[in-house]
Amino acid sequence: MRTRRLTGLVGLLTAGALFLAACGDDGSNDTTTDANEDAAGEDAAGDDGADGGADDGAEDAEEAGADPDDAEFMVYALLPQGNDQPYGTTYLPPMEEAAAELGISLTITNSQYDADTQASDCEVAVAAQPDGIILWPAVGDTVRPCLQAANDAGIPVTVTNSDVNPEDEELTRGYSGPDTYGQGAASAELMCEFADGEDIGIIMINGLTGNSTAINRENGFEDTIDEQCSNVEILARQPGNWNADESQIAASEMITAVGAANIQGVYAADDTMVAGAIDALRARDIDPADLIITSIGNTFLGNPLVIDGSLDGKVFQSSSWDGENAVTLMHEVLTQDPGERIVRFMPDVKVTIDNAEDPDVEPEW
């Protein structure tokens, strides 16, 4: 366990100043979302019921993993979701089991995708002087003050699920989770494959504006379309904010704007949003099976859409892999002290009607 040092007080004083700056950021304070990810996961997802505010997050911290009295390491896990979301519900048990096996006592917080709450949680974590901090960013462009405070206090930080911005990577020791750019690219490859050289127009539904997972998936998809199938044209795009209802509205608006006859395909950055897009098509008496539709996730919501032919293909994301590797990566950093930043990507497995019922891609959330 880390030796508490008086020099850590310097980092704590710095942390106080940095967190005041973070809480004053008008660009992020009201950024919340309410679905699964990413998403991702996704990435991914949030909860619009996150009404706790910056003072409430740390009070709801959960203790898990090894018994603190017997643990070799004490680690804070600063997450933006937990049992309040389908992804978090299946992310947490493997995380806690791995921690117990590796002698890590976890203190887990859930900011519900509120940047101020996560900043407050981080302030509490740094003050506790743990052996490490696992961070799943609530809002990617607001976490640098947290990372800087931990770095100044000598506390290693690893990132899970959604990586930090490139300019912030130097303040972290590693990342484990989905290759969010690669997920977008893989979904685009499916779109190219199904289009098979035919000229088609598609609409695109992206995640929460400013969210790193949403940005990376959009870039990965669009770059791959440009490079591999210029016959596919993106006619319009809107954010669906990881939410089915908002995605249904966004899709409906785009159908009106570009004309249903001009749309032969849909890409949505996760299963929740693609379900909303499919509802928008059906509301216009458009059979989704007549279009090429791709997504990311392969969730309990999305997998049946592949099996019934409404959705052509998607990229599988495993919440259990994500939770387990968050802890094993931190343990590697604490026990092996690797010199370079570790990046451990979740495998990108494509799911179509041919393998949608295989055990290897069975939905987890």
Q: Which domains does the chain have, with CATH numbers?
A: 8-178 (3.40.50.2300), 180-318+348-361 (3.40.50.2300)
- The pLDDT of residue 63: 76
**Model confidence band, residue 337 (pLDDT cutoffs 50, 70, 90):** confident
The model's pLDDT over 146-180, given as tens digits with 9 standing for 90+, comes to 999 999 999 999 999 999 999 999 999 999 999 99
d(CA 302, CA 254): 22
Q: In terms of DSSP bridges, do strands 292-297 and 313-316 run parallel, antiparallel, or are they unpaired?
A: parallel
The model's pLDDT over 115-141, given as tens digits with 9 standing for 90+, comes to 999 999 999 999 999 999 999 999 888
SS3 assignment, position 43: strand
Return the bridge partners of 74, or none. Answer: 105
Query: With 70 as the cut, is the pLDDT of residue 11 above it?
Result: no
Return the bridge partners of 273, or none. Answer: none
Query: With 50 as the cut, is the pLDDT of residue 49 above it?
Result: no
The 3-class secondary structure across 300-322, one letter per residue, is CCCHHHHHCCCCCEEEECCHHHH
Sign for the CA dihedral angle at 170, 171, 177, 178 comes to negative
**Model confidence band, residue 243 (pLDDT cutoffs 50, 70, 90):** very high
Query: With 90 as the cut, is the pLDDT of residue 305 above it?
Result: yes
| For range 7-34, the mean pLDDT | 38
d(CA 357, CA 145): 44
pTM of the model: 0.77
Return the H-helix or E-strand segment holding 281.
helix 271-283
- The pLDDT of residue 66: 60
Arithmetic mean of pLDDT over the chain = 86
d(CA 167, CA 147): 12
